[in-house]
Each structure stands twice: as C-alpha cells, then as structure tokens.
Structure 1
Amino acid sequence: MSSAIRRSVPRRALAALATATTLTVALSTGGLVAATDRAEAAETLLSQGRPATSSSTESSAYGAGRAVDGDLTTTRWASAEGGDPQWLRVDLGQARRISRVVLRWEAAYGKDYEIQVSDDASSWTSVRSTVSGDGGVDDLTVSGSGRYVRVYGTKRGTSYGYSLWELQVYGDDGGSPSPTPTVSPGETFTVAAAGDIAQQCTASSSSCAHPKTAAQVEAMKPAFVITMGDNQYDDARLFDFTKYYDKTWGRFKSMTHPAAGNHETYDPAGVYAGYKAYFGSLATPQGRTYYSFDHGDWHFVALDSNAFDDATQLSWLKADLAATTKRCVAAYFHHPLFSSGEHGNQPAGRAAWSALYAARADLVLNGHDHHYERFAPQSPDGKADSQGLVEVIGGMGGASPYDIENVQPNSQKRLKDVYGVLRLRLAPGSFSWDLVGVDGAVKDTSPVYTCH
C-alpha cells in the first residue's frame, strides 16, 4: 500500500480521532457500541515506551515501537500487506491488572481481532474479541492480567494490512518503577553488564550458568542492564529466547539496552529475526541496530559490530559523538578490538575505536570471547595512552568459558573459567567496576578512572 494511499484516512476515522477525548467505543457481542465518557483517574497508562513486537512490518518506518511511542497522529505500526493473521504485542515488564485497551486505527484496520494477555508470551488468553470492527478508535473495557498484551487480528477490514497509530493499555501499575529510572546530574548509578549469556539450558541443570548470573544482576539493583551480544544461543531464534533467556535475564527485559552479537545473525528465519522479535523496540530504539542514549552525566553508544564495514554506521557514530554534551562516554558492542582469548583481536572495530578515541570517549565494553579481561587505557593501535580508551571484556554471562591464548599488550587482568557480571559504578566524572561471580564474590576490582 503506497504512503499516499495510507495518508488518505477515511472521514469516519478522522472524526473518530477528533472526538477520542470525549467519546469512547466499546465492543459488544454484536459489534461496536457507543459508551459514555470514562473517568480515568484510577487508571495508569502502562504501555507507552514499553518494548513492542509484531508479527511483521510493512517497512522499518512502521516498526512495532511506533505504536507505543505516545504520538497519536504521525507515527504508527503497519503490518505486511495482504495476509492474516497479524499481531502487535507490548511487554509491560511484569504482570499487570488490565482494565482498558485503546486501539487507534489508521486506514488499514482489523475487522476480526482479539485482545489477548499472557504471562510468558507463549500461552494466550482472550479478554475481548470482535468480528465487526470498523476502524477509527476502539476504546475497550477488559478484565484480565498479564505481562504481555497482544492485538491479534484474524481478518483485515481492507485489502491492505493492519495499522495502528497507537496501542494504549491501561490498568494498575502496582507502584512499580519505570523501566529505566531517571537519575539527576551529579548522581552515581550502577549498571549491570555482560555478554554471551543464555545457553540452551534451564535452572533445572546445576551446570546452567545464566540463571546464576541473572541472580547477581537482581542483587545489584542496577539502574539498567547492558548486554554485549550473543544474548541467546545457538541461533538466537525467538523460540529459544522465550524458552531460555526470558526465564532468567528476561526479568530485566524492560530495563535492558541490548547489543547484537554474531549468534544473533544465525537465525534461520533471517538475520536478527529472533533478536528483534524478542526485544522489540529495545533492539532498535532509533530504527537501527545501533543507537545511543543518556543517563545521568553519561552518554552510552550501542554499536552493531557485525556491521563495522557499514559506512553509514560509522558516519552516524561520528555525528552522535560530536553532538553529545556529556563529559563521560561509554560504548559497547560484541567484538573486541583487543582480546587475549580464543577469538583474539578483531581489527574490524578499529575505525569505530578511532572515532571514539578522537571524541575522547572513556570506556568500551565487549563480549565474544568467553572470559574476563581488562586493559589499561590505550590508543586504537594498541599503544598505552593515558588519554585512551579503557576496554573490558565481559563475555561470562553464561556461555561455556574460553581459554586465554595470546596475552595482548596493555592487558592488566585476565580470568578464565569464571561466570559473572560486571557491576559498573558510574559517577559524574569517573568510573570503576567489579566483576561479581555467580557465588556473589568479587573476582576483580578495577582502578577508578577519571573521564576525559
């Protein structure tokens, strides 16, 4: 469906949007009926800004996250055209009591659809359904609970696909904190970080490590979580994400800022298919598999090291670094430029390192090699440099450990045969970290570094 056609919203839909604040529409067995004005004081909007996933998208411009971004008229999700069923799902972070769902349809609407809830994104319960949808704004009273809420369409109202300006889920917030709590400038905060996480095993196996590293993340009570790729083994399929990662590190999903590793490219369904389907808009918050964000006095850059040969990513990185006003800058991605482990140095990252070095960035976090290693500040060509980047390899999130094979210059500490999580302490002008093992003991403590 062309963008010109999609922008031509029927007069009925425009009228519905214009009166959305005063008129609500509810589903009955026979179809849509008018309802009286609703008092919303006791309800909380739970869905806005939460991770969203969909069965398909028409293009990258219409990703699932666009339907929960709070913009009711200019951004939207659109499914692929011409096929049923299609669905849009939002992750509320934990189970919530749901009282109301508002669907703001674009011209392409659902005629037959259900509102479903689930605790595990696998088994679904229908809490509302219709076979006579006519688009516009559907304001639905529902009764149910779940971590996930899904709009599941089985029959399109047009020959195109399904398209929503916004999916709004209301209910009881339970007094829970936001996914990434804000922190004022001048405050120190904690971040949990690891890569190479979920083997295809569960807590029922004593040798399974990712449930144990997840327990350490929980104990840290971090402001948010960073992952440095290879989140799910072996092929990062959605089925495996749901069966393994979600049962452990998934409890922090709504506060996770992920990066992709090489295993995320192995999905038989397509490169990043399971990764994007599981993390939803968290995987591509700015429409790409690389992105940046700020927290406190820090600027964070998540890069896609599978695409370090992409000139577009490098140009974006340079522009992003030039635009930030934060004193402290941390970058994270999967493949390390320097490593003493089995994979060794990954020179494809040198251009990104050079851009970070030129911008006087401070910290680089990596995975890929399944060991722990920290380096003294160094330049992109591997020379000791007090104004250089501090690199940390934290590939001990749960995947089988690797050996140390070729110790690199400037490597200060290496640990193999250890599982653990980096506990980063990030202050307004300095940083340090501990490696916390699965037994809760500190295995290594870094020096305190001053931001450039």
Structure 2
Amino acid sequence: MSRARLAVAAVLALFAGLLVVVAATSAGAAETLLSQGKPASSSSKEGSSYSSGKAFDGDTTSTRWASQEGHDPEWIRVDLGTPQQISRVKLFWEAAYGASYRIETSDDASSWTTVYSTTSGDGGLDDLTVSGTGRYVRMYGTARGTSYGYSLYEMQVFGGTSTPTDPPTDPPGGSFVVAAAGDIAEQCTAASSSCAHPKTAARVEAMNPEFVITMGDNQYDDARLSDFRAYYDKTWGRFKAKTRPAPGNHETYDPAGSEAGYKAYFGSIAFPQGKSYYSYDHGGWHFVALDSNTFDQQAQLTWLKADLAATTKRCVAAYWHHPLFSSGEHGNDPVSRPVWQALYEARADLVLNGHDHHYERFAPQNPNGQADPNGIVEVLGGMGGASPYKIENVQPNSQKRLTDTYGVLKLTLTDTTFGWQLIGTDGSAKDTSPTYTCH
C-alpha cells in the first residue's frame, strides 16, 4: 500500500473512532427510567392489593397504588438507592387523582425540595419536566380531585438530560393497529357469564394495539364515576393510558353533571386540549375525536374546520357517538350532517360511530347518502358490550350488517391505506373490509 493510501486509511480510521465516541456519548446522555422495581412507601394504602410498590412495577394499566379514601394530605415515594439527577416524572393516574400536588426530592427522606407543583390537576397522564437531585422522589397530594383518595397506576422517575426514551410517535414502517368499539361497559362483571365487556377487553388485549378508540357510551347506565370504577375500569380500564375516548349520550346522564363521571375518570386523556373534542396524529394519520352531544353548538364545528384545514396528513379519520347513517333501531341522526359535510369537504377518509348496538359498514358516500368514490367510509361499531339492537331499516350503501355479535374493530392503517376486521369474542374475524386508499 502506498504512503498516500496509508495516510487516507489512518484518517478514515480516526474519523470512524470519533463517530463511535460521539455515538456512545449521545447514548449515555439518554434519559433513563430510574424508579421501576425500586423500594417504595406511602402515607397509607386502601388495602393490601393497593400497596405502594404497585406504582413502580412497570404496569401502567392494571395494578395500582391507592391511598385511604377521603383524606388529605397523602403521599407516595420511591427510593432510587443513590442520589440521582431527576429530569422528568410521569404520573399515570387512576380515576382518583390529585387536583393539587407537589413533586419533591430529598437525600434523606426528611428534608424535601419541591421541583414541581400544581393546583389544577385533572387526572389522566401527567408528563412533567422537572430539574432536581435526590435519592428519594415523592408525589405529595394536598387536595383530591374526587371524593375518593389518590391512586396511581404507575409513577415513573427519569434521569438524564436528553430526549425521553419513549416509543416513537410515528410507527416504524408506517403500519399500525388500532382497536375500536363503542357502547361498552354494562353494569356487570366477569362473574356473570353473560357479561360481554370482559370478553371484548380480552380481544383488545390480544390485538396489542398502538392505541384504543372508544365511540361513546363507555359506561352504562348513567356513567357515574363510581360505575366507571366498578365496571369499565375492571376490564377496558387496563388500556386506559393508551385510550383515546369520545363521549356518548349515556355520559350526559350523570346526576353530578353532564359528562362529570366521564371527565373525572379519564381526566386529561379525554380533555387533552381542555375540551371534550380534540385531535392527534399517528403515523400518516390525523385523528379527530368529537363530542356529538354538542354538535348543535357552533364552537365545535368552527374548531373542526380549522383543525382539518391545518393538518398536513394525507389520511384523516374522525369518530364520535351518533351516526349520520345507521340501519339500526336509532336510525340516521341528522345532528351529524354538518360535521360530515366539513369532513367531506376536507376529503376525510373514515368515520367511526356507535350508539346503535350492532356492526355495520358502508361504501364510500357523501353527506346526502349518495354513493361517491371520493366519499367517506363509515363503520358503526356499537358492539363493545352493551345488549344488541335489531336491524330495522337498511340504508342505501350499507354493505354488511351484523347484530347479536359482540366484538372489536381491528383497524390496520398505513400511511396511504386502511382496512379492518370485526373480531368476535371467540377471536375469529366476523367480517373483513376491503382495503381503501386514502384520498
């Protein structure tokens, strides 16, 4: 090898070595989950099944810590073993959340430094950026958000200074699965063989979806917080942290106030933008969750049009409770027509609804119910667990209808296409849609 080639090879080797050093340095700077499996303690616990260690076991949807009910203040803390730099804390609240609380650090579990505080907590998932050091980290609650206590599915403490090591927002390869259903939790439990929502929850778990969509009437009959805790939470509640819900008419029946129990249970999960309707992106898709209980109010329609105008995603899906088109007992609901019109003008692709307790899919159509290859595909998925309804008046463009069938929609979405299957409680596919290309 010539002297010139040796020199070039040496430079390249040096450059490669520098890249390795830079990569190793960057990897070392990544945030690390410090708290999982570490010793924990709390001011109290509701019972032996709700001990403090349940909030640090890595399970964000089923096991949980719960304090005694009706008492302030209450706290839970984790021992990291040695003093650590703390950069972020995530709180996965159960329905019993803290309205006012502090995140504190300490080296001796005696003297505490506040690194975060709020007096306007609303439950759901709190993802908090903090800055501090300490061996111990605790959540110190001073005012409950409900009449119960404080309860956390999980409390995660991270250290480091760079981007969190959460899963990426956009799925690799552009293909992902979403589970969807409406009309879910009747007032029954798995102890009853006729209770359907434990069985549909098992199908969701088997799918392992990226997230879960609900199309209203999540909890029957009046959607009180106590009912959410007693029924929905025991089955579909295991997916709460990755659920993107919409309310139905039964959510308005709560004597404590319209949608009061729904809001108390889901918190910021259902109100991420401070309203009962919201939008989000995943992969090549823009999703819009709407509140059809207030379709008669101009504010939501105005927001929807602005939201659709702002998105740059090719594929658009929207979901709410009351369907514009249905062959079931409730039939067509014209309250949804202005929303359909806005979606149609924005060239949206997919609408998901509930309300009628059956399964139905429609060919692409316009807001007037006319077949249109550039129209929207509607799927009615009201078979999440509530008693089935009859098919009464078959609508134009209705391609498939099933009743007396409980199940979950398994949506398979890519950056340019979509399709789905209805998965019954026995695990078999009861219907398979065509594959559609986004507008």
TM-score under structure 2 normalisation? 0.70
Cα distance change on mapping 1:293 and 1:124 into 2, 3 Å: closer
Per-residue deviation, residues 212-244 of structure 1 (Å, max 9, x unmatched): 000000000100000000000000000000000
**2:259: which partner in 1?**
272
Mapped pair 1:329 → 2:373:
no
**2:227: which partner in 1?**
240
Do the aligned partners of 2:123 and 2:264 also contact (CA within 8 Å) in 1? no
**1:100: which partner in 2?**
137
Per-residue deviation, residues 88-124 of structure 1 (Å, max 9, x unmatched): 756689xxxx952256xxxxxx8xx499xxxxx9676
**2:325: which partner in 1?**
338
- Give the Cα separation in 2 of the matches to 1:122 and 1:301: 32
Mapped pair 1:40 → 2:77:
no
How far residue 408 of structure 1 moved from its aligned partner, in angstroms, is 0.1
RMSD: 3.5
Among candidates 179, 184, 187, match of residue 197 of structure 1: 184
Amino acid in the other structure paired with 2:206: A
Among candidates 262, 277, 280, match of residue 293 of structure 1: 280
**2:239: which partner in 1?**
252
- Give the Cα separation in 2 of the matches to 1:90 and 1:281: 5
- Give the Cα separation in 2 of the matches to 1:336 and 1:201: 26
Amino acid in the other structure paired with 2:153: R
- Give the Cα separation in 1 of the matches to 2:356 and 2:166: 29
**1:308: which partner in 2?**
295
Do the aligned partners of 1:194 and 1:226 also contact (CA within 8 Å) in 2? yes
Per-residue deviation, residues 376-408 of structure 1 (Å, max 9, x unmatched): 000000000000000000000000000000000
Structure 1 or 2, whichever has the larger Rg, is 2
Structure 1 unaligned spans of 5+: 1-26, 29-37, 58-63, 80-87, 104-109, 116-120, 126-145, 150-168
Amino acid in the other structure paired with 2:90: S
Structure holding more helix per residue: 2
| TM alignment of 1:268-417, pairs within 5 A | 268-417=255-404
Cα distance change on mapping 1:328 and 1:209 into 2, 3 Å: same
- Give the Cα separation in 2 of the matches to 1:99 and 1:406: 63
| TM alignment of 1:168-207, pairs within 5 A | 170=157, 182-184=169-171, 186-207=173-194
SS of the equivalent of 2:233 reads helix
How far residue 437 of structure 1 moved from its aligned partner, in angstroms, is 0.1
- Give the Cα separation in 1 of the matches to 2:102 and 2:361: 41
Per-residue deviation, residues 308-359 of structure 1 (Å, max 9, x unmatched): 1110100000000000000000000000000000000000000000000000
Amino acid in the other structure paired with 2:266: F
- Give the Cα separation in 1 of the matches to 2:244 and 2:335: 23
Do the aligned partners of 1:401 and 1:418 also contact (CA within 8 Å) in 2? yes
Structure 2 unaligned spans of 5+: 1-41, 44-81, 104-113, 128-134
Percent identical pairs in the alignment equals 64
Mapped pair 1:262 → 2:304:
no
- Give the Cα separation in 2 of the matches to 1:189 and 1:402: 31
- Give the Cα separation in 2 of the matches to 1:76 and 1:52: 18
- Give the Cα separation in 2 of the matches to 1:256 and 1:365: 15
SS of the equivalent of 1:39 reads strand
SS of the equivalent of 1:206 reads coil
Do the aligned partners of 1:52 and 1:281 also contact (CA within 8 Å) in 2? no
SS of the equivalent of 2:84 reads coil
- Give the Cα separation in 2 of the matches to 1:224 and 1:447: 22
**2:6: which partner in 1?**
none
| TM alignment of 1:204-243, pairs within 5 A | 204-243=191-230
Count of equivalent residues: 338
Do the aligned partners of 1:258 and 1:283 also contact (CA within 8 Å) in 2? yes
- Give the Cα separation in 2 of the matches to 1:236 and 1:260: 10
TM-score under structure 1 normalisation? 0.68
- Give the Cα separation in 2 of the matches to 1:294 and 1:406: 36
**2:153: which partner in 1?**
147
Cα distance change on mapping 1:413 and 1:44 into 2, 3 Å: farther
Amino acid in the other structure paired with 1:422: L
SS of the equivalent of 1:147 reads strand
Do the aligned partners of 2:98 and 2:123 also contact (CA within 8 Å) in 1? no
Cα distance change on mapping 1:313 and 1:388 into 2, 3 Å: same
Do the aligned partners of 1:308 and 1:348 also contact (CA within 8 Å) in 2? yes
Mapped pair 1:433 → 2:439:
no
SS of the equivalent of 1:246 reads helix
How far residue 75 of structure 1 moved from its aligned partner, in angstroms, is 9.9
**1:160: which partner in 2?**
none
Per-residue deviation, residues 160-206 of structure 1 (Å, max 9, x unmatched): xxxxxxxxx6389xxxx999863247510000000000000000000
